[in-house]
Amino acid sequence: MKEYARGARTEGRVIGLVPTMGALHEGHTALVRRARQECSCVIASVFVNPKQFGPKEDYQKYPRDLEKDAKTLGDAGVDVLFAPEAADVYPDGFRTYVHVEGISERLEGRSRPGHFRGVSTVVLKLFEIVQPHFAYFGRKDAQQVRIISEMAHDLNLDAEIVVCPVIREADGLALSSRNTYLSAEERMAATVLHQALVAARDELSRGVRDAMQLQTAMRRILEAEPLANVDYAEIVSADKFEPVVRVARSSYAVLAVHIAKTRLIDNLLIEPASPGSDDFVFQL
């Protein structure tokens, strides 16, 4: 992979990297399409990274179908699929990790200790192997892409991090490889995440800026669904993912909710309509 990528760089090609864990869906192919528009060499990785799963999480049962993913990526115009084995990525004696302090401990990091250490480490390794000019991530995992951007900044990485919009089903559910775990009944219940974010957006549109009031609006929807169990539903700053009392700058409404045994996340981006403006726009 290193040799190929180095060759492509020497030829003057612009390299785009799309890191994934496979079980690909439209959310992933949207990243590939964006990379295809902006880069002359698109590399996608499929690697279920053991270091980002907790001991009681779904590493073993995470959906894997490399053959199908290879076809999907080929059809989407990817030049190279990089699908290493865990033993090659983490050979015996592997002891070096990247940790982005502070932000990695909050929200997802608090519920999933060590998760972001695993993410940052594997993404840095992928960047070192592929040396991409651009790397494409989804806003679906907003905290993750913020952490990766921090890492890229702190460690003077050359890769430019590109954040792409959330791709959703017709009923609003954000696409996720983990949606395949949901039964028909759970799949219907899972729409509460989107509904809760819509409720927050509606409050914001009415001029509500108080974080507690926005959280209450989200919780009211989530708690009305018997299959839903809220992990967190908060309003946080877009830079540090710290709780805010009032929405005054770029922020996120962030959710993590168990639908029966499946843990799902989603978010609403809240941004000033223009730099410094008191008007906000909202992106689901």
Residues that bind ligand AMP (CB under 6 A): 20-21, 27-28, 31, 137-138, 140-141, 164, 166-167, 174-177
Rounded-to-integer distance, Cα 109 and Cα 246, Å:
23
Active-site residue flag, 28:
yes
Rounded-to-integer distance, Cα 273 and Cα 268, Å:
15
Pairing between β-strand 251-259 and β-strand 134-138 as defined by DSSP bridges: unpaired
* Minimum distance, C-beta of residue 167 to ligand AMP, in the bound complex (Å): 4
> DSSP readout, 95-159?
------TTGGGSTHHHHSTTHHHHHHHHHHHHHHHH--SEEEEEGGGHHHHHHHHHHHHHTT--P
Rounded-to-integer distance, Cα 109 and Cα 216, Å:
23
* Minimum distance, C-beta of residue 49 to ligand AMP, in the bound complex (Å): 8
Which CB sits closer to ligand AMP, 31 or 107?
31
**Catalytic-role residue among 25, 28, 99, 133:** 28
Which CB sits closer to ligand AMP, 169 or 210?
169
- When computed from its CA atoms, the radius of gyration of the chain, rounded to whole angstroms, is 19
Which CB sits closer to ligand AMP, 117 or 140?
140
Please give the DSSP secondary-structure letter assigned to residue 64: -
Rounded-to-integer distance, Cα 127 and Cα 49, Å:
15
Which CB sits closer to ligand AMP, 118 or 211?
118
* Minimum distance, C-beta of residue 20 to ligand AMP, in the bound complex (Å): 4
* Minimum distance, C-beta of residue 180 to ligand AMP, in the bound complex (Å): 12
Among left, alpha and beta (phi > 0; psi -120 to 50; other), residue 167 is beta
Active-site residue list: 28
